[in-house]
Structure formats: structure tokens, C-alpha cells
């Protein structure tokens, strides 16, 4: 799928069919994440692909706004070693993950990780090294229904030329 079509088509889904996501797709999606821009080329991120149904249920139980992870085909966690720009770098990787998944025909939902009270528990569950930080959890899979795109503000409302 063309990048502009993926940007236009991408939206959050919170109801999944439990259909598995092929491992090859998860590898392509994670590869897109690792190619994200990163401050000083630090690349502080690591990705944990979760496909085991029991582990998905555990993640869903920890993430207060991510209960639907239990029904996703997979979840890709973005964790980072501490660095000055870990959050910016991890968020750039997360956006690449969202777009790559869309381009491959999957639906996604970004579940916040950074500064959430469940973040340390998620890192422990995933076996992340001590001190690593959870940036995001991305539920990936086939949606029960398509659509549900939230309206976006018009370009002429958000684009300013030369000054605000």
C-alpha cells in the first residue's frame, strides 16, 4: 500500500477477531519500527512481539485502557533503554509500526505506556532488562468491523504559513 493511502486508511480499532498475525508480517512491522528516525542515532528501542493468547490476556489485564489486547492477533510492545530522547524515538518507531501494519492490511490501536502506572509491570512481564521503559503497546490484528474513523480537522484549520 502506498504510504499516503496507509496514512489515510489508518485508524484505531478496539475490537479484534483473534485471527493470528503472521510472523513474517510482525517481522516486517518491527523492521519498519527500527527504521524510524532517532536522536543522535541512539536507536534505544527494542520490540517484543506477543502472540501467545495467555500472554495477550495478561497484557490486557495490566493495561487499563487496553483490555482489547486480549482479542488482538498480536501485540507489539515498544520498550526503550533510558536515554534523553527515548520517548520521542519510541513514538517515532510506534508510528512507523502503525503505518506498516496498516499497509499490510491489519488494524491497530496504540495503547499508551510511558508514565502509566502499569508500565513497570508490563516491562517485568515481557522480561525487559532492569531500567527499560515502556513506550507503547500496539494491538495488531483483524478488526471485527471496519470503519469507525474519527473525523480529522481540515488542513486549512491546522496549517499556518510563516506564523501562527
Cell of 88: 520521542
- Residues of the chain with pLDDT > 70, as a percent, come to 98
* Global pTM value: 0.94
Q: Which of 102, 107, 111 minimizes the C-alpha distance to 16? A: 107
Instruction: Please give the average per-residue pLDDT across 51-69, as a whole number.
Output: 97
pLDDT of residue 96: 98
Quick check: 95 pLDDT over 80?
yes
Asked if 16 contacts 141 with a C-beta cutoff of 8 angstroms, the reply is yes
Q: How far apart are CA 75 and CA 77, in angstroms?
A: 6
pLDDT in tens, 123-153: 999 999 999 999 999 999 999 876 667 889 9
State which H helix or E strand residue 59 sits in.
helix 53-62
Q: Which of 88, 103, 76, 94 minimizes the C-alpha distance to 7? A: 103
Q: How far is CA 145 from CA 106, 110, 142, 152, in A?
A: 12, 18, 9, 20
Instruction: Please give the average per-residue pLDDT across 58-80, as a whole number.
Output: 97
Quick check: 88 pLDDT over 90?
yes
Which domains does the chain possess?
3-144 (3.40.109.10)
- Kindly list the strands in the beta sheet with 107-112, ordered across the sheet, starting from the edge strand earlier in the chain: 45-50, 74-80, 133-141, 107-112
Round the average pLDDT of the chain to a whole number and report it.
95
pLDDT of residue 85: 98
Amino acid at each position: 500500500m502506498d504510504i499516503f493511502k496507509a496514512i489515510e486508511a489508518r485508524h484505531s480499532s478496539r475490537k479484534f477477531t483473534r485471527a493470528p498475525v503472521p510472523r513474517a508480517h510482525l517481522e516486517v512491522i518491527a523492521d519498519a519500527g527500527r527504521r524510524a528516525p532517532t536522536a543522535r542515532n541512539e536507536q534505544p528501542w527494542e520490540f517484543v512481539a506477543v502472540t501467545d493468547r495467555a500472554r495477550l490476556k495478561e497484557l490486557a489485564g495490566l493495561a487499563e485502557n487496553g483490555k482489547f489486547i486480549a482479542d488482538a492477533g498480536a501485540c507489539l510492545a515498544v520498550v526503550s533503554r533510558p536515554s534523553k530522547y527515548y520517548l520521542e524515538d519510541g513514538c517515532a518507531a510506534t508510528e512507523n509500526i502503525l503505518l506498516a501494519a496498516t499497509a499490510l492490511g491489519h488494524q491497530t490501536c496504540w495503547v499508551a505506556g510511558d508514565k502509566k502506572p502499569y508500565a513497570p509491570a508490563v516491562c517485568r512481564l515481557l522480561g525487559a532488562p532492569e531500567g527499560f521503559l515502556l513506550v507503547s503497546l500496539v494491538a495488531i490484528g483483524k478488526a471485527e468491523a471496519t470503519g469507525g474513523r474519527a473525523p480529522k480537522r481540515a488542513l486549512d484549520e491546522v496549517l499556518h504559513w510563516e506564523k501562527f
